[in-house]
Amino acid sequence: MKRLVESSGVEVAFREVDVVTTGTFGAMCSSGAIINVGHSDPPIKIENAWINDVPISHPGAAVDLYIGATAMSERQPFEYGGGHVIEDLVSGKEVELKATSYGTDCYPRAHVKTRLTKDDLNQFYLLNFRNCYQRYNCAVNGRDETIYTYMGKLLPRLRNATFSGAGELNPLMNDPDYETIGIGTRIFLGGAQGYVIGEGTQHDPQNRFGTIMVRGDATKMSPEFLRGASFTRYGTTLYVGLGIPIPILNEGLAKKTAIRDEEIFTSVVDYGVPRKDRPKLAQVSYKELKSGKITVGDKRIRVSSLSSLKTARKIAGTLKSWIAQGEFFLTAPVERLPVDSVFKPMRQTEETPFVANVMQEAVTCSESEAVQAIAERIVTRSVNHIVVVDGNGKLTGIVTSWDITRALAQGKTALADIVTRRVITAKLNEPLETASKRMAQHNISALPVIDNEKKVLGIVTAEDVSKLLGR
């Protein structure tokens, strides 16, 4: 379609193309499967359940369970989780169910342990409450250390970038006004046929971050399109393969489905900043993302995807051949996806403390001062940390009362000899919790607060933090 519109125009494309198939294969954390395991004899009203050591939720009556993709194995956390349990069941493997209960008059049993395959289940439906993000952020890390996120392993100081999503192949991107997508739309899901059952959670159509909720019979699915996955130090998830056929009902849709990667933009976001609204450093197109290099400021950064373009293409191709062979029939949605929902942040009734809330004025000195003078300042100002600054108030080091005591004992007089120059710092708008964690991590009791130009704004101490956080 994309090439046809380019070469022959929208009108011809509209006449010649009936359906455009799309596909995506990526990590979709808000996925899971609902299963019914049948009744044991005597019966049990399951209160807690585990499959292969992964805690399984029990949202309903006695033996209905929901395997959440991100639930992690108690024995191998971060390596095996709900996504892997779903993949194992789909592959026909046997899994171990353990369940406990308090026992009732009608459900007397307190423990059960058994092995199951998908053939032993009454229902096994993939039931994903948020899939198929229309597009997603491109992630980088501005911090000085490597971080592990749901966007993968991010090297320090913007040394790599990751992105997710299939760009021009993405289902929702090809029908951005959801003319053909809604409740009842039949789709490709995990290698079988499934359905859209409504808008996904956090559906945010106005910002082109639409999502869908989907359901499909998992017993018919294939592990090629449904894979358990592990993100180091983040957790487990499920890679879901999903494709939507878009019927070309009007010229408008012919034009929309001709969308190219160069027309789809997303933001490069600094995941090193521990806030909900992370700084956006640049705008890039999916074309640049797929090229392997992006530009942020004056930096060229290597970028790679987390979702599989190869499998996305295979999904779109499979869907196409199913339709051509009459194995798949398109459906009109009973109700279209909403185009006006708003994605609200959490209403917080308790205030979250930030560094700015507890920061105090920093007692400073310059490097040319004598140890004796600093010792006096520590006593008169009754502080434990003196921040060393240059003539412009910029951070150059830190000395503690302990450093001074030791220097005096050893007869050292020059401050320059005892200053710690690799200073761990905090930012004004940083949550107190992360600052406090950093202090614990480095086993220190204060952090100078600096701005982006390294100018010292104040100091936050462990003492002040524990007063406020009560720990």
Residues designated as active site: 106
Which residues are CB-neighbours of 395 under 8 A, at least 6 positions away? 387, 388, 389, 423, 425, 448, 450, 454, 455, 456
Select the residue interacting with another protein from 229, 242, 246, 386 (CB under 8 A): 229
**Single residue of 237, 318, 400, 425 touching another protein by CB under 8 A:** 237
Two structure tokens written together for 240: 């879901």
CB of 108 to another protein, least distance (A): 42
Shortest separation between residue 150's beta carbon and another protein, angstroms: 10
CB 231 to another protein: min, Å: 6
Quote the least distance from Cβ 60 to another protein, whole Å. 31
φ/ψ of 53, rounded to 5, equals 75, 0
Contact with another protein (CB under 8 A) among 60, 92, 279, 292: 292
Return the residues of window 161-200 that contact another protein according to CB under 8 A.
161-162
Is 183:334 a contact under the CB 8 Å cutoff? yes
Min. distance of Cβ 302 from another protein in angstroms?
4
Q: Which is nearer to another protein, 303 or 389 (CB)?
A: 303
* Residue 440: alpha-carbon gap to chain centroid: 25
Full DSSP string of 118-134: GGG-SEEEEEEEEE--S
The DSSP symbol for 90 reads H
**Pick 160 or 396: Cβ nearer another protein:** 160
Within residues 69-98, the interface with another protein by CB under 8 A covers: 79
Judge contact between 125 and 218, C-beta under 8 A: yes
Residues 295-324 that bind another protein (CB under 8 A): 302-311, 313
| Contacting residue, 114, 123, 207, 232, with another protein by CB under 8 A | 232
Could you tell me which stretch among 36-44, 230-238, 383-391, 442-450 binds another protein (CB under 8 A)?
A: 230-238
Instruction: Rank residues 24 and 180 by Cβ distance to another protein and give the closer one.
Output: 24
- If one counts every other C-beta atom within 10 angstroms of the C-beta of residue 108, the result is 12
What the block records as the tokens of 171 is 């289902």
How near is the Cβ of 170 to another protein at its closest, in Å? 15
Residue partners of 467: CB distance under 8 A and separation at least 6: 358
Tell me which stretch binds another protein (CB under 8 A): 193-201, 209-217, 223-231, 356-364.
223-231
Determine which helix (DSSP H) or strand (DSSP E) holds 409, and give its type and residue range.
helix 401-410
**Options 126-134, 228-236, 380-388, 410-418: segment touching another protein (CB under 8 A):** 228-236
Closest to another protein by CB, 30 or 400: 30
> What is the phi/psi pair of residue 275, to 5°?
-125, 165
Which CB, 147 or 460, lies closer to another protein?
Answer: 147
Q: Considering only 155-163, 208-216, 355-363, 406-414, which stretch makes contact with another protein by CB under 8 A?
A: 155-163
Provide the minimum distance between the beta carbon of 424 and another protein in the complex, in angstroms, as a whole number.
25
* Nearest to another protein of 79, 177 (CB atom): 79
Q: What is the footprint of another protein within residues 14-33 (CB under 8 A)?
A: 25-27
**Pairing, β 147-149 against β 280-285:** unpaired
Torsional sign, CA 379, 383, 384, 385: negative
Number of residues that bind another protein (CB under 8 A): 30
Q: Write each residue from 125 to 154 as x if it is in contact with another protein (CB under 8 A), else as -, in one continuous string.
A: -----------------------x---xx-
- Write down the least CB distance from residue 230 to another protein, Å: 6
Alpha-carbon distance of 399 to 420, in angstroms, equals: 6
Query: In the chain, what's the furthest Cα-to-Cα distance?
Result: 91
Whole-number Cα distances in Å, 463 to 166, 230, 356 = 49, 38, 15
Whichever of 45 and 227 has its CB closer to another protein, that residue is 227
- Residue 335 Cα distances to 63, 180, 185, 197, 203, angstroms: 32, 9, 9, 10, 15
Identify any residues that bridge with 293 across adjacent strands, giving them in sequence order. 302
The contact set with another protein (CB under 8 A) reads 25-27, 79, 148, 152-153, 155, 160-162, 227, 229-232, 237, 239, 292, 302-311, 313
